[in-house]
Chain A
Amino acid sequence: MTTSELLPLVIRWDLLALEPPGWGMVLLRGLQQSIMIAFGAYFVGLLLGLGGALGKLYGGPIVRSVLEGYTTIVRAVPELILILILYYAGTQLLSQIMQSYGYGRFDINGLAAGIGVLGFVQGAYSTEVLRGAIQAIPVGQLEAARAYGMPSVLRIRRVVLPAMMPFAIPGLANLWLIVTKDTALLAVVGIAPSELSLATRQAAGFTKQYLLFFLAAFFLYLFISLFSNWFFRVLERYFRRGQAKLS
């Protein structure tokens, strides 16, 4: 029995071509969109996380409990539900604000919505990673910085951030991998058009070549992950320079 008898459904590799009868370009553009959303969301998440970590460590009781509620709730509710709630609530809030300032109706950019929603979710996870990393800094280093008379902003910039990086990088690498994979969730909600998973589903549905296109997307995502793994290994080596090697 030959393979073609075993698999009557012939896989048409030519559909992956870059020119219009093939869907290769659509997938690659989707990949680019997904990476852009992931970058944006990661960045927003890092900013929220840095603020959240500093607030949790040095803030007053109200700030601390608000942040505690933020991280606990976001980490306890499935991302899919959070994305839906945040998307509806966020767009409603934005349009109300815009209307109160006298602007008319507007359509929110899918890219921006995806970044905002995923960034808010990432922020909760980043808060915990960065808080743990800051707490892992030997207290003596912070005390030394204070003893030199550094004001708190300078202390954060010169001592806290560089010293926490080696502790934070494994967690941050994990978060980056999570956010690249979470961009696929946007396809379920349909927020960001032409993002990789949605593009794949459209291509697969249009050509009925489900196995081919989902395999293609599978390997594109895998490629992002493998490349990121390599990148973060290099980054960690860089930030650990001058540190004693762990056995």
Chain B
Amino acid sequence: MAGAGSVSNLSIGAITQGTTDDLMKIIKIFAVVVVVVGVPAAFFMRWDWLNPSFQEATGAYPVYGLKLFYGVGWTVFLLLSSCCLGFMLAIPIGLVQVTGPGWLAAIARGFCTVIRGTPLLIQLWLMYYGLGSLFPSIPWIRESVFWPILREAWPYALLAFTLSFAGYEGEIMRGAFAGVPKGELEAARAFGMSPFTALRRVWLPRAIHQALPTLSGEVVLQLKSTPLAATVTIFDVFSVGTKVRQDLLIIYEPLLFIALVYVTLTAIVVLAFRYLENLVPGKRA
């Protein structure tokens, strides 16, 4: 008993040690970047466009600070909704590859291959330009209640991002489902759980827990893909940066600023997942 206790203490110690070490490393790099890039940038570059009173001073340009705020909203909306919907799709995609009938597994595998084998940009343009040019020519779609929504750009972006996330995440969920120890599933069956209850209570939670570290990386990758939405007229952070660049003819300032926004969002995602991972106690390598 004492032995087991000390082992678990040790592992918890190792976890907290690891996280603080990682955090310290990141904070150190951040501090260096702030000193090397941020301080000169603050003094030698032009930041007045971030000021809310910028508009009154010039009169000609919109308030970029407010636009940036909405842009972050669009980015976060696309990220969260596509990750949630994509993850819901990824669960069956991963599951049928582990237990499903052969033809369903083949479809799921094919879907993952196709999504992972083509650029997200092409998928997005295929949805927005391809489907978007097809829909208006089909009368019953044009007359349906969804038409006002289908005329916007964001449903296509959301669809493309969701399918992309489902493709990448389905592959990971397949590994996670396969990685849950058989004994735990047999134990669930031995308790008389129906297959669905066993999936809901044992298999899925264990698989999600196993997939969390990879999931965190995938969400960060998804965040870094969201600027592509700017190419289909969605006004996210990236396109606000582009607008500032074109309006004021300054290049580096808006790019550096939105890079900072994305780095901050990345940090939030990573920290949130670390919190989720630590909710479940356990040994980690």
Chain A interface residues (CB < 8 Å from chain B)? 6-9, 65, 68-69, 72-73, 76-82, 84-85, 88-89, 177, 181-185, 187-188, 197, 200-201, 204, 208, 210-211, 214-215, 217-218, 221-222, 224-226, 229
Contacts and interface: CB of A to CB of B under 8 A. Distances in A.
A236 B27 CA distance: 38
A237 to B, nearest CB: 20
Contact of B262 (A76, A89, A204): A76
B133 interface: yes
B252 A81 contact: no
Contacts of B32: 65, 69
Contacts of B118: 181, 218, 221-222, 225
Nearest to A221: B118
A210 B133 CA distance: 7
Interface of B: 25-26, 28-29, 32-33, 113-114, 116-123, 125-126, 129-134, 137-138, 223-228, 231, 238, 241, 251-252, 255-256, 258-259, 262-263, 266
B29 A68 contact: yes
B26 A78 contact: no
Contacts of B28: 65
A72 B29 contact: yes
Given A210-B129, A218-B126, A188 B121 contact: yes
A78 B121 contact: no
A215 B126 contact: yes
A54 to B, nearest CB: 20
Contacts of B133: 9, 208, 210-211
Contacts of B138: 6-8
Contacts of B130: 210-211, 214-215
Given A7-B134, A85-B252, 10 more contacts: A65-B29, A65-B32, A76-B263, A77-B263, A81-B241, A210-B132, A211-B126, A211-B133, A224-B117, A226-B117
Contacts of B116: 177, 225
Nearest to A227: B117
Contacts of A214: 122, 125-126, 129-130
Nearest to A84: B255
A231 to B, nearest CB: 13
Nearest to A8: B137
B227 A85 contact: no
B119 A181 contact: yes
Candidate in A68, A76, A77 with the most chain B CB atoms within 10 angstroms: A76
20 contacts: A65-B28, A65-B29, A76-B262, A78-B238, A80-B238, A81-B241, A81-B259, A85-B255, A85-B256, A89-B252, A181-B119, A187-B121, A197-B122, A201-B125, A214-B122, A214-B130, A215-B126, A221-B122, A225-B113, A225-B116
